[in-house]
Structure 1
Amino acid sequence: MKSINVDVAVIGAGSAGMTAFRAAQSHGKHVVLIEGGPYGTTCARVGCMPSKLLIAAAEAAHAVAEAPGFGVHPGPVRVDGKAVMAWVQSERDRFVGFVVDNVHRIPDEHRLHGYARFVAEGRLQVDDHTLVNAATIVIATGSTPYVPPELSRLGKRLVTSDEVFDWNDLPASVAVVGSGVIGLELGQALHRLGVRVTVFGRGSGIAHMSDPAVVSEAVECIKEELDLRVQTRVVSATPDGDAASLTSMGADGVERVERFDFVLAATGRTPNLHHLNLKHSGLQLDTRGMPLFDPFTMRCGDSAVFIAGDVNNERPLLHEATDQGRIAGDNAGRYPEVIPGLRRAPLGIGFTDPQLAIAGSAFGTLKPGCFAIGEVRFASQGRSRVMRQNRGVLRVYGEYGTDRFLGAEMVGPRAEHLAHLLAWAAQNRMTVASMLDMPFYHPVIEEGLRTALRDLQDKLVHGLPEIERCADCTPGL
């Protein structure tokens, strides 16, 4: 077994790891990138890109189905499942190819293939071929789909979001377990492509939304089209010939048994920490075995180890992974100097129809009594009605006393674009008045945003709470 000495070892060649590698190298340090699995990020291979390809195909089918509402009557829709999946895989492989090409441009002396594990503080073993002595280490090993115990007996009838995109054809039916963003996106897309789909959500909410008014509207909008069952628990699932038999229990306590071709586990992801042998890392771990870290420096305690991306389970989104990777790699490269990096305003989007989004502070993170809420419903909003996409609600939050915009939650048309505007406003600490000073064209969806902001401004001016109820959040007291 050979032994090498490096300044920085980056474990994982995903979005966070690749960004950390480049950031550390910018300091002129000797950096090695270690990867045990196939090259190609989660986003390109099994996440953001293939899911949006499937959604795009579903949107095309849905547009044809909705055309008669405009007086346009196309012929019968025929979905060729094999052609759909061939297109998804072809484009997916193209995106993956770009990532793999970037990895292969890294000189061989800066790449190691194999699974790394700690054998001592600052010392890694990669498979059975290399010992790496590293002055600093970046952990960027990503995450893996979680499969709940009640689905573990399904064998080949069980799929995860990592495996859906390897189908060569669309099945006749799928049970989606989990009402988060991944479950809703894939479930609705498959439904629009002719698959019989039921989505099972254990709780009453969906997709990490926390504003009760938005959650209620979102559930109702999606249930108009999709068999979405919230407050429904999957009791068991077993193979049943060429299908799966799934038993569920709703809020009424009644059990139902149904058959599906496949059961898709969309119940979240778990950090890839099991290979790392962290007991030899010297790091302080929480009760789940997760290294404790500073979210602004990505440093684990007072060690020379940094952690970035989905593996730390803080904000498992691509743009957050790259930001964290940049911070971790920069600090690993400049170590022992460690400085806080830029953490941007929270931004999360679900590409359902209507779309879901959280920008800035979510409702559930705000202190009751310290903020006002402005609202617009899209049922009568001009551009939304023109497009026949007039469903949903936008709720915006502003701080009493400062008039500062705090954040928003929404379900509605073009939410991906509204959310970006609102995240920028939150990050720049804009006031509601300054946001209303911005130009608004006509007719556009953004006019709905203006309506919500006007409603919010009126409540901030006229609805200041009693001082004794909010003495810690009103400036000047």
Structure 2
Amino acid sequence: MTPIQVNVAIVGAGTAGMGAYRAARALTDSVLLIEGGSYGTTCARVGCMPSKLLIAAAEAAHQARHAEPFGVQVKEVTIDGAAVMARVQRERTRFVGFVLETIESIAPGDRLTAKVKFQDAHTLVTTQGQLIHAQRIVIATGSIPVLPPVLKGLHTHLLTNENVFELPTLPKSLAVFGPGPLGMELGQAMSRLGVKVKMFGVGGGVAGIRDPEIRDYANQAFNEEFYLEASAQVKSVKETASGVEVHYLDRAGVWQTEPFDYVLAATGRAPDLAGLALKNTGLQLNKRGVPLFDRFTLQCGNSAIFMAGDASNDVPLLHEAADQGRIAGENAGRYPDIRSGLRRTPLTVVFTDPQVASVGLNLEQLNQHFKGRFAVGLVSFEDQGRSRVMLRNKGVLKVYAEHGSGLFLGAEMFGPAAEHIGHLLAWAAQQRMTVSAMLDMPFYHPVIEEGLRTALRDLNHKLHIGPDVINRCMDCGPGA
């Protein structure tokens, strides 16, 4: 086969890879985008979009079942599992189609479908033996599901986010392993769609929440809907002819063996790097086999190799992958002129109900870097006006700021409209606003965001900057 000569080779055509291609192509005409698997980003195929489609169906069912307190009588709610999954798959295909249109718009000479590995730091080789000589290379191979040892013997009845959306209908029962963001989103959605769900975790984590008080609150709230044991003892999970059997210690201290149709493994994802033969690059790798890189330039050491997206194991979120792809692609395109790119304020959202949001520095980071130098503002949404109007009055928000400067540092929330409040707070953090400046911003009435104002007022008072918090402050309107 004739070797390929190219200035920039990008391995992986997901969100990060396509971003890297566009950025590099703006700087050089010699770019090759290589994909060894299915086209269509993780988000569109097996992540953000199909999971939100399932969640949307679950929210519709939940709202119908809980309409009576409003004086609205819904006599019966019937879930058509096949119809639910058909819509998920139909709309997912549409989203993937948008990605495929983008791929097809790339010149055929700029893309290659092949699995590759490194022969050396400037040479890739396909499984068919074709050599690709690249002056610079961007690794954007994404991630793959991780299975804990207790689940590695399962086959037919094992689900991950890679295949759960292929189900022809909803199962009757589901054991979810991993109460992180993905497990909590899918587990709660399945439960609200009538699936018997039990969720098992290790270490006490719930939806990625770092603040122990907020985590305990969320744990209690979720347990009102379905069984969640965040620190479970599971002895074995065995596949049977009709499903799986989970042998676990229940809350009463009794060992139980319970059957389920499927197990959903939501125990995290790891960089998909195993097949790249990175040892041939000479790069220094960390203990997880990921090349060491500068997170502002995405350059691996002093090499001409760059990391981007989930393969970097940095922040596995779509907007972060897009940013990393752009930074890596620009630096690969202009190499050796390496420049730092914008890394935005950390923002994560978990689409459970109530939602979870984390912005800026979390409590662990604050205790590490600002110990004794920050204050915490708090609001409960249980008595917040608009939240009570909508019967979504469950949750808590904590906001953090630096003593002396009043600089807003971060926040964590479990509550209504967290996806929107999280964005407001991320913008404030990236603009390096003080709490006083944030309180100068407009707050309409009645909105859930008034709860944010209450938390900020509490925070400003604890910073010894603002006045005492007025209970039932009527200039904000009742229930604000």
TM-score, normalised with respect to structure 1: 0.95
| 1:369 matched to 2:346 | no
Tell me which residue corresponds to 2:411.
Answer: 408
Tell me which residue corresponds to 2:389.
Answer: 386
Matches within 5 A, 1:86-101: 86-101=86-101
The alpha carbon displacement at 1:154 in A equals: 1.8
Tell me which residue corresponds to 1:298.
Answer: 298
Check whether the contact 2:121–2:305 (CA below 8 A) recurs between aligned residues. Answer: no
The alpha carbon displacement at 1:340 in A equals: 0.3
SS in 2 for 1:188: helix
Tell me which residue corresponds to 1:111.
Answer: 111
**Whole-Å separation in 2 of the counterparts to 1:26 and 1:127:** 30
The alpha carbon displacement at 1:214 in A equals: 1.1
**Whole-Å separation in 2 of the counterparts to 1:337 and 1:227:** 54
**Whole-Å separation in 2 of the counterparts to 1:250 and 1:278:** 44
**Whole-Å separation in 1 of the counterparts to 2:299 and 2:288:** 18
Letter in 2 for 1:384: S
Check whether the contact 1:11–1:35 (CA below 8 A) recurs between aligned residues. Answer: yes
SS in 2 for 1:242: coil
1:253–1:74 CA distance, 2 compared to 1 (3 A): closer
Tell me which residue corresponds to 2:211.
Answer: 211
**Whole-Å separation in 1 of the counterparts to 2:422 and 2:126:** 42
Q: Which moved more, 1:142-151 or 1:240-249?
A: 240-249
Letter in 2 for 1:428: Q
**Whole-Å separation in 1 of the counterparts to 2:250 and 2:224:** 19
Matches within 5 A, 1:49-448: 49-249=49-249, 254-367=254-367, 368-448=371-451
**Whole-Å separation in 1 of the counterparts to 2:243 and 2:207:** 28
Check whether the contact 1:8–1:29 (CA below 8 A) recurs between aligned residues. Answer: no
SS in 1 for 2:66: helix
| Cα distance per residue 1:35-83 (max 9 Å; x no partner) | 0001000000000000000000000101100111101002311100001
**Whole-Å separation in 2 of the counterparts to 1:256 and 1:411:** 32
RMSD (Å), alpha carbons: 1.2
Check whether the contact 1:243–1:260 (CA below 8 A) recurs between aligned residues. Answer: yes
Tell me which residue corresponds to 1:466.
Answer: none
Among all aligned residue pairs of Structure 1 and Structure 2, give the percentage whose two residues are the same amino acid.
56
Tell me which residue corresponds to 2:455.
Answer: 452
The alpha carbon displacement at 1:286 in A equals: 1.3
1:234–1:2 CA distance, 2 compared to 1 (3 A): farther
Check whether the contact 1:231–1:250 (CA below 8 A) recurs between aligned residues. Answer: no
The alpha carbon displacement at 1:251 in A equals: 7.4
SS in 1 for 2:209: coil
The alpha carbon displacement at 1:254 in A equals: 4.3
Check whether the contact 1:373–1:395 (CA below 8 A) recurs between aligned residues. Answer: yes
| Cα distance per residue 1:122-153 (max 9 Å; x no partner) | 00012215211101000000001111111111
Letter in 2 for 1:409: E
The alpha carbon displacement at 1:260 in A equals: 0.3
| Cα distance per residue 1:328-361 (max 9 Å; x no partner) | 0010001001000000000000000000110111
**Whole-Å separation in 2 of the counterparts to 1:72 and 1:319:** 40
Letter in 1 for 2:126: V
SS in 1 for 2:270: strand
Check whether the contact 1:296–1:343 (CA below 8 A) recurs between aligned residues. Answer: yes
Tell me which residue corresponds to 2:28.
Answer: 28
Check whether the contact 1:29–1:333 (CA below 8 A) recurs between aligned residues. Answer: no
**Whole-Å separation in 2 of the counterparts to 1:234 and 1:256:** 10
Tell me which residue corresponds to 1:470.
Answer: none
**Whole-Å separation in 1 of the counterparts to 2:299 and 2:316:** 17
The alpha carbon displacement at 1:322 in A equals: 0.4
TM-score, normalised with respect to structure 2: 0.95
- Counting matched residue pairs gives 463
| Cα distance per residue 1:403-442 (max 9 Å; x no partner) | 0000000100010000000011111110000000000000
Tell me which residue corresponds to 2:48.
Answer: 48
**Whole-Å separation in 2 of the counterparts to 1:151 and 1:253:** 23
**Whole-Å separation in 2 of the counterparts to 1:250 and 1:215:** 21
Q: Which moved more, 1:175-184 or 1:215-224?
A: 215-224
The alpha carbon displacement at 1:12 in A equals: 0.1
Tell me which residue corresponds to 2:471.
Answer: none
SS in 2 for 1:43: helix
**Whole-Å separation in 2 of the counterparts to 1:257 and 1:43:** 35
**Whole-Å separation in 1 of the counterparts to 2:64 and 2:207:** 27
Check whether the contact 1:2–1:129 (CA below 8 A) recurs between aligned residues. Answer: no
Check whether the contact 1:231–1:251 (CA below 8 A) recurs between aligned residues. Answer: no
Q: Which moved more, 1:44-53 or 1:353-362?
A: 353-362
SS in 2 for 1:442: coil
The alpha carbon displacement at 1:252 in A equals: 7.1
SS in 2 for 1:155: coil
SS in 2 for 1:19: helix
**Whole-Å separation in 1 of the counterparts to 2:137 and 2:234:** 41
SS in 1 for 2:29: coil
**Whole-Å separation in 1 of the counterparts to 2:169 and 2:2:** 46
The alpha carbon displacement at 1:177 in A equals: 0.2
Letter in 1 for 2:9: A
| Cα distance per residue 1:281-340 (max 9 Å; x no partner) | 121111221100000000001100000000111100000000000000010001001000
The alpha carbon displacement at 1:205 in A equals: 2.3
Letter in 2 for 1:45: R
**Whole-Å separation in 2 of the counterparts to 1:313 and 1:324:** 11
SS in 2 for 1:366: helix
**Whole-Å separation in 1 of the counterparts to 2:100 and 2:465:** 57
**Whole-Å separation in 1 of the counterparts to 2:121 and 2:71:** 69
The alpha carbon displacement at 1:240 in A equals: 2.1
- Unpaired segments ≥5 residues, structure 1: 464-477
- Unpaired segments ≥5 residues, structure 2: 467-480
Query: Equivalent of 2:464, from 434, 449, 461?
Result: 461
Check whether the contact 2:443–2:449 (CA below 8 A) recurs between aligned residues. Answer: yes
Check whether the contact 2:7–2:28 (CA below 8 A) recurs between aligned residues. Answer: no
